[in-house]
Chains A and B, each alone.
Chain A
Amino acid sequence: MQTKTVYLSGLAVSEQILMQSYMDLLVLRDGSRFDVTEVREAAQIEVFDPKADAACNSPSFNEPSRIAFLAQGEPSTDHGWALHRPARLSNLREVLTSITSEHAILSNTETALPEHRRLEYWLGLLSRFEAQGEAWELKGLKNLRLRIYFNHQRVYLSNPHQWQEQLANTGRALATAIPSDMEALGDYAISLDRFRWQLCEALSNGLLLPGIASRSTFNLLQWPDFGSVGANQKQMKLSALFHGRDLTIIKAAELSALPVSAVIDFINASAAQGLLKDAPAELLCPEALNSAQKLEQPAPLPEVAKKSRTFGQFLEKLRGAIGLGK
């Protein structure tokens, strides 16, 4: 008989007793053994109350190989995976057994991440998924299900509309490894690059990712493959500026007459695609851009800037004539 170890995190004493009773009953009923451990790191399953502080800080949230289970998550009745409050013996056994075999991370839509950590969380999750499996399904998001196939570099979405906003407004997701040849979900598919790029745009919130926040200048190794990630004029202008050239965010905003937040979105997305040149140590400026600091919008170049104005007017007419959008 295989024994699974369980860590109870932040549960009220009454709930701890209830959980322990259920686990004891499972041993008596069908031999499924779940032992409670006092050491979180040693546990195969972590059970916690999402309303407790411990839930937000638990490393299990981000580790598919360490399993998290929200005992009091909002139940979703329209999916087979839904976890109900462990009020019934049969349900508890299924839940504990399935999450140990599926490497699941469970969501609680009420426990949203702080805004400045959302992009970091999702990008981290994607890279961990990629390292640990070929295909994953994300559920537990309102009106949205996602299947990510790293082997085909594609993402299938059950709902193509405003998925970025849904991810932005949802803290955590349930992720389950699926067979890489599993049937695609719906008709709407985008490349993984485009998914990652649009995620960055939606979740940057005007703040640089922690890994690059100490840089004072940025330099693009190569343009993003806009044929794959999709593009708009803003991103093209910023690519033209940052490609092969060290520039600050403020300078790029000034030259392109774009909002600072658009430049930050672009820098984050480029970083997520591995397109930024490594910054030399002497250019790192730890105090300049910490993750909570917002940059002020510079004034656009003055009207005396003749060359760019002349080209700008001509190109605007041309864009209109051939149907190029903004």
Chain B
Amino acid sequence: MTEGQPREIKILITGPMGSGKTTALAAVSESKPIQTEARNSDTEQHSKSHTTVAMDFGEVYLEGGDRLRIYGTPGQKRFNAMWQILAKGALGVVVLLDMTRADPKEDLRDYLTDFSQVIHGSCAVIGAGRMDEQHALEIGDLADMAAQLGFAVPIFSVDVRKREDVLLLLEALFCQIEMDAALADHSEMTQ
């Protein structure tokens, strides 16, 4: 990121089918989100009628030509070739989980592993949705799982239908980016 030139950062929203990626993206995008939805043929995974098959895309424009680009991945694993393409250059990843799915810990393991490169290189946040509809898992269980895999990521219980919860996830990413930069500056100054 260079001073004086228009700047942009890219953020990725991922997670299993039905976890609310498209909803979360639409909550913050200034432009009408570009969606690539098709009829859902995988009703075993989720009963919704349509699902994202390539990507969702939204933007927030800032003065001076700066902008935030947000990409939503398709949820089904068979589209995971697309995940790596979308992840390129992302400064942060939001992983959304649906805690009422059969095995949310396994979902978390899958997404952290698949996006490990971008998460280790930058930052991530996990949004656990529908926490109050299940009582088998606590946030701490997910944090333990992430820690076992070597990820130190924030995990929040959220409802992405509420815009403030989506903003909470984004703020967690922004604060990580900002504080990583402060630590890098400090490290440079003390060397």
Chain A residues numbered 215-249 whose CB sits less than 8 Å from any CB in chain B: 221-223, 225-228, 231, 233, 236-237, 239-241, 243-244
Majority DSSP secondary structure for residues of B touching A: helix
A223 to B179, CA, bound (A): 14
Q: How far is the CB of B147 from chain A (nearest CB, A)?
A: 8
Please encode chain A, from 193 to 221, with 1 for each CB lying within 8 Å of some chain B CB and 0 for all others. 00000000000000000000000000001
Return the contact of B185 from the options A221, A308, A319 (Cβ within 8 A): A308
CB of A88 within 8 Å of the partner chain: no
Contact: A305 with B175, CB < 8 Å? Answer: no
Q: How far is the CB of A262 from chain B (nearest CB, A)?
A: 14
Contact: B181 with A236, CB < 8 Å? Answer: no
Return the contact of B155 from the options A222, A233, A236, A305 (Cβ within 8 A): A222
Contact: A314 with B30, CB < 8 Å? Answer: no
CB of A323 within 8 Å of the partner chain: yes
Contact: B62 with A321, CB < 8 Å? Answer: yes
Given A236-B175, A311-B177 in contact, is the A227-B152 Cβ separation under 8 Å?
Answer: no
Chain A residues numbered 273-326 whose CB sits less than 8 Å from any CB in chain B: 301-302, 304-308, 310-312, 314-315, 317-319, 321-324
Interface-lining segment among B17-25, B44-52, B82-90, B166-174: B166-174
List of A residues within 8 angstroms of B168 by Cβ: 226-227, 231
CB of A255 within 8 Å of the partner chain: yes
Contact: B140 with A222, CB < 8 Å? Answer: yes
Closest residue on chain A to residue B179 by CB atoms: A240
CB of A20 within 8 Å of the partner chain: no
Closest residue on chain B to residue A242 by CB atoms: B179
Return the contact of B7 from the options A237, A305, A306, A314 (Cβ within 8 A): A314
Closest residue on chain A to residue B154 by CB atoms: A223
A211 to B89, CA, bound (A): 44
Contact: B174 with A227, CB < 8 Å? Answer: no
Majority DSSP secondary structure for residues of A touching B: helix
Contact: B179 with A225, CB < 8 Å? Answer: no
Please encode chain B, from 1 to 28, with 1 for each CB lying within 8 Å of some chain A CB and 0 for all others. 1110001010000000000000000001
A221 to B153, CA, bound (A): 10
Given A314-B66, A321-B61, A323-B167 in contact, is the A223-B172 Cβ separation under 8 Å?
Answer: yes
Give the bracket for the number of chain B residues in contact with chain A: 35 or more
Return the contact of B60 from the options A227, A231, A256, A318 (Cβ within 8 A): A318
List of A residues within 8 angstroms of B147 by Cβ: 222
Contact: A311 with B178, CB < 8 Å? Answer: yes
Given A317-B62, A324-B167 in contact, is the A256-B174 Cβ separation under 8 Å?
Answer: no
CB of B102 within 8 Å of the partner chain: no
Please encode chain B, from 42 to 73, with 1 for each CB lying within 8 Å of some chain A CB and 0 for all others. 00000000000000000011111010100000
Contact: A305 with B186, CB < 8 Å? Answer: yes
List of A residues within 8 angstroms of B37 by Cβ: none
Contact: B182 with A301, CB < 8 Å? Answer: yes
CB of B157 within 8 Å of the partner chain: yes
List of B residues within 8 angstroms of A227 by Cβ: 127-128, 131, 156-158, 165, 168
Chain B residues engaging chain A, CB cutoff 8 angstroms: 1-3, 7, 9, 28, 30, 60-64, 66, 68, 127-128, 131, 139-140, 143, 147, 152-158, 165, 167-168, 170-172, 174-186, 188-189
With contacts A222-B139, A314-B66, A315-B177 known, what are 18 further pairs, Cβ within 8 A? A225-B156, A226-B172, A227-B128, A228-B156, A228-B157, A240-B179, A308-B182, A310-B2, A311-B1, A311-B178, A311-B181, A312-B178, A317-B64, A318-B62, A318-B174, A321-B60, A322-B170, A323-B167
